[in-house]
Structure 1
Amino acid sequence: MGVVSRTAGEGDRELIVRLLDEAFQDDPVSGWVFPDAEDRRAKHPGLMAAFTDIVLAAGRIDVTGDGSACALWLSMPADEGHGDHDAEDEGPAQVREAVDPDNERIERIGRLTAAIHPTGRAHEYLWMIGVASGRQGEGLGTALIETVLDRCDREGLPAYLEASNARSRKLYERLGFEPAGPVLNLPDGPSMWPMWREPRPQRPARAL
């Protein structure tokens, strides 16, 4: 049986934040942003809420019908990277101010990932994907991603993401993503892998 999904709306905000918080509490990058475990438990949900609000306003969030997994996507136009330069410059600082003004790593991670983001071609950007802790390993995340990748193939659009751990990187490789430039090594922290996927050619329909 296939995975049923829908586009999330404002009424799904708390669900999405909870999924992302569960999925990334123990992620290496989240651990770098919030090195203290108690501090991370307290403030990490706020960071996930900020990301959720950005994508609800400017992108698209797909969620499984049972609310067990979600994927956050932004459609990136050609030659503009993360949008106009003023918004790009202000965005990381605004997130830091909203979540934890004393934590400069919140702003730094936004600026570092923006700096490596490919420009020049329109593409779909998989910002984050979260799966409930008790449902991981069931293929829910893969199903959500494949739905968008199938559309990318039909429309001739590439896709981009940054893998935040080795396990997710292997998943993305199986879905056709390849390294897109040097690894991003966070200062005194873990690595992130920028990955790019070219659209796959569509097979012509077989004549009857």
Structure 2
Amino acid sequence: MGVAIRTAGEGDRELVVRLLDEAFQDDPVSSWVFPGAEYRRTTHPRLMAAFTDAVLAEGRIDVTEDGMACALWLSVPAADPADAHADDSEAAQVREVVDPDNERVELIARLTAEIHPSHRAHAYLWMIGVAPGHQGKGLGTALIAATLDRCDREGLPAYLEASSARSRRLYERLGFEFTGRVLGLPDGPSMWPMWREPR
């Protein structure tokens, strides 16, 4: 049986924020950005809201019809060298909105921007979240595969950063390959940048 997928709209904002918050509460990177379970429980949703708002404005959010999974995608053009410092100001703005005293909110944005490939236009899977009770049932795979099919038809590569060894294995099964440069967070976990050529 297939998974029904639709494009989220403004009316789905709270659903998407809740899904991402629940899915990433125990994620190694989220735990590094927001150390301490209580601190993370109260502050993490603000970061997920900022991400959701950014992608609703500039990209596309796919959600399963049952509301149990979502994927945040951006279309990234080949970089213009003149835009090199745009990410710095955006990172600072996100920190100010989410948690002004937490430098890691800004640092994670800067570090991922530095490692993000800029040589070719591509689809960027910013985040994918599956409700904890529904993980391992193929919802995430279905969400990603739908966009990868479109990428293949259009000859467009795709990119993401895996935040755990488990997610890295999933992405490898979908044709993503590790770029060879690990993003090691200071005194924290690693992230694996991954690239997929169209098929």
Scaled to the shorter chain, the TM-score interval is over 0.9
Q: What is the deviation of 1:134?
A: 1.0
| In structure 1, C-alpha distance between the alignment counterparts of 2:148 and 2:77, rounded to whole Å | 17
One-letter identity of the residue aligned with 1:136: Q
State, as a whole percentage, how many aligned pairs show the same letter.
78
Aligned to 1:157: 156
Which residue pairs with 2:44 in the alignment? 44
* Cross-structure match for 1:3: 3
Give the Å deviation of 1:86. 4.5
Taking structure 1 as the reference length, the TM-score comes to 0.93
Q: Deviations over 1:3-51 (max 9, x none)?
A: 0010000000000000000000000000000112111000000000000
Partners of 1:80 and 1:120 within 8 A in 2:
no
**What pairs up with 1:180-191 in 2 under 5 angstroms?**
180-191=179-190
* SS of match in other structure, 2:117: coil
Q: Which amino acid aligns with 1:110?
A: A
Q: Are 1:79 and 2:91 an aligned pair?
A: no
Q: Deviation per CA, 1:97-153: give whole Å up to 9, x if none.
A: 001100000000000000000011000000000001111111000000000000000
Q: Residue in 1 aligned with 2:173?
A: 174
Deviates more, 1:13-22 or 1:72-81: 72-81
Match of 2:29 in 1: 29
CA–CA distance in structure 1, aligned partners of residues 191 and 183 of structure 2 = 5
Secondary structure, aligned partner of 1:127: strand
What's the TM-score once normalised by structure 2's chain length?
A: 0.97
Matched with 2:198 is 199
Corresponding residue for residue 134 of structure 2: 135
Aligned ranges 1:91-170 → 2 under 5 Å: 91-170=90-169
**What CA RMSD, in Å, does the superposition of the two structures yield over aligned residues?**
1.2
Amino acid aligned to 2:158: A
Say which SS state the counterpart of residue 195 (structure 1) adopts.
strand
One-letter code of the match for 1:73? W
Paired with 2:110 and 2:177, the residues of 1 have a C-alpha distance of 22
The letter for the 2-side match of 1:114 is A
Looking at structure 2, the residues matched to 194 and 71 of structure 1 have their Cα atoms a distance apart, in angstroms, of 17
CA distance in 2, matches of 1:72, 1:130: 9
Distance 2:79 2:96 in 1: 28
What's 1:16 paired with? 16
Q: CA deviation at 1:79?
A: 2.5
Runs of at least 5 residues in structure 1 that lack an aligned partner in the other structure: 201-208
- Letter of the 1:117 counterpart: H
What secondary structure, in the 3-state scheme, does the structure 2 residue paired with 1:3 have? Answer: coil
| Runs ≥4 residues deviating over 6 A | none
Shift of 1:80: 3.9
Cα offsets for 1:33-88 (capped at 9, x unmatched): 0112111000000000000000000000000011110000000001249x933531
Question: Mind listing any 5+ residue stretches in structure 2 that lack a counterpart?
Answer: none
